[in-house]
Amino acid sequence: MVASLAQVLTGHGANILDADQHRNEPAGQFFQRIRFDFSGLLTDRGTLERALHEVAQRFAMDLQLFYQTDVQRVAIFVSQYDHCLYDLLWRHRSGELRCEIPLIISNRPDLAQVAEHMAIPFVVLPITPETKLEQEAKEIELLEREKIDLIVMARYMQILSPGFVQRFRHRIINIHHSFLPAFAGGRPYHQAAERGVKLIGATAHYATETLDEGPIIEQDVIRTTHKDSINDLIRKGRDVERSVLGRAVRWHLEHRVLVHENRTVVFE
């Protein structure tokens, strides 16, 4: 497979810039990410694409082709917490995140001013158990109108309905806190403080129907001590959440994350 794809690419005049492979033992699935420059193409884009798809078919490969000129469009979902939103917007401004951000959706009005400063449309769609599906329908309409490729739940404090999640399979990134050991139930920082954990962490993952159990993209932790009040834990949690989410979004935008079953291969 490696040889065939490389041959097709070089045969058409494309220049392989980077290639990463991974074989998932013992199951034996094979994953590959190739970044190539086709400015010196001997044929044309259509011919190359057909040739690549022909190889893919021959080996029963799942092939995805992305062009760097096709800038992805990202919608950010938020509620009242601003740390992840701020961080994503700053990373976007700084050029770290190659994307457009034409839409911020929130179930609350709190962060309107942040969006306004960045001149990004901010749509408030409050959600109650009764209005959830109706409001989600409006969200979907907005997302489709804006041709959104990726949804980032930047501490969006609502659970998406299964139908919503399925529609954007592997295109919704969520961030949540993680503890060793894990705590069930509400107020996890309070539980963590009571249990005296020495680390708190965050996990970025693709949203699936099962809350917080989708394929993990990135994780990290930060040390805590007995001196940390609940507020200190929350503060430390913010720092680790925003940096983990930032990396996960960047890797996704650079097509570095391949999903297979419930796990990811991240060609970092």
Are 109 and 82 in contact, with CB atoms under 8 Å apart? no
CB of 226 to a copy of itself, least distance (A): 4
**CB closer to a copy of itself out of 105 and 201:** 201
Question: Considering beta carbons, is residue 143 or 202 the nearer one to a copy of itself?
Answer: 202
* In the complex, minimum distance from the CB of residue 268 to a copy of itself, in angstroms, rounded to a whole number: 7
For a copy of itself, the closer of residues 70 and 119 by Cβ is: 119
Indicate the residue among 34 and 142 with the shorter CB distance to a copy of itself: 34
- Least Å from the CB of residue 98 to a copy of itself: 12
149 or 218: whose CB is closer to a copy of itself?
218
Active site residue 20: no
Spatial separation of the C-alpha atoms in residues 76 and 62, rounded to whole Å: 28
* Angle, CA of 151, 154 and 157, to the nearest 5°: 105
Using CA atoms, how far residue 141 sits from 136, 145, 168, in Å, is 9, 6, 13
Contacts of 79 (CB under 8 A, 6+ apart): 106, 107, 108, 110, 155, 156, 157, 158
Cα separation, 41 vs 78, in Å, equals: 43
What's the one-letter identity of residue 92?
H
Q: Is 64 helix (H, G, I), strand (E, B) or coil?
A: coil
What are residue 266's DSSP bridge partners? 257
**Distance in Å, CB of 31 to a copy of itself, minimum:** 8
Residue ranges that bind a copy of itself, judged by CB under 8 A: 2-3, 6-7, 9-10, 16-25, 82-83, 86-87, 90, 93-94, 96, 117, 178-182, 194-199, 201, 203, 212-213, 215-221, 225-227, 229, 235, 238-239, 243, 262-266, 268
The single residue of 212, 220, 232, 239 carrying the catalytic annotation is 212
**DSSP letters of 164-233?**
HHHHTTT-EEEEEEEESS---SS-HHHHHHHHT-SEEEEEEEE--SSTT-S-EEEEEEEE--TT--HHHH
Q: How far is the CB of 121 from a copy of itself (least distance, A)?
A: 17
Active site members? 212
